Copies of this chain bind each other. A is one copy, B any other.
């Protein structure tokens, strides 16, 4: 695996682990529960990506650096959660950075594995949103990806920059940085200004199905 991909993956692992551990601490789980949540949030997206492109065993399970990273992030969040809580929306900001980094790394690794540039952004999106989905499902909540502003679209945009750059043969590092920046800024701006699209028209009657 080339260096760029590894760095993105480790950064994503760190920030997603922080977001999972913070939510766990807020729900008053004990240290074990917090660490399991850190692991699940940090690893789900990358493992899903690796399964889908046939790269088994997944990097997150065969490379010792991944457990070292999410374990540190989980312990950090556990110990200093009141401090981290003083930030603005800590869970959502870490989540947005993880989304951006994993979406870009996912598209990159998919292209490496020979997926066509037209479909690689979908794989990037999946590995970006996977961690947050598992975190929220484990806590029996409707995932952020369904409730939040511009979530999956931001991941898709970031991943598309990478695919486009690849098709135009631009330098990898540059397009990766641009993709991360685009996804992260889109998501933060949507969060800040409450951007969202219209909702469906109300059905005439509300009834169970």
Contacts and interface: CB of A to CB of B under 8 A. Distances in A.
Contacts of A197: 30-32
16 contacts: A24-B146, A24-B200, A25-B200, A31-B200, A32-B152, A32-B196, A35-B152, A51-B51, A79-B200, A81-B200, A81-B203, A82-B202, A85-B204, A90-B209, A133-B138, A139-B146
A199 B146 contact: no
A122 B70 CA distance: 13
A109 to B, nearest CB: 11
Contacts of A26: 200, 203, 206, 209
Contacts of A63: 119
A28 interface: yes
Interface stretch (A7-15, A52-60, A161-169): A52-60
Contacts of A141: 140
Given A30-B196, A140-B140, A36 B203 contact: no
Interface in A77-115: 77-79, 81-82, 85-86, 89-92, 110, 113, 115
Given A34-B200, A202-B82, A209-B92, A142 B145 contact: no
Contacts of A25: 199-200, 203
B201 A91 contact: no
A119 B67 CA distance: 9
Nearest to A137: B137
Interface residues of A, number: 76
Interface string A11-55: 000000000000111101111111111000000000100011110
A138 to B, nearest CB: 6
Contact of A199 (B30, B115, B209): B30
Interface in A159-209: 196-206, 209
A153 interface: yes
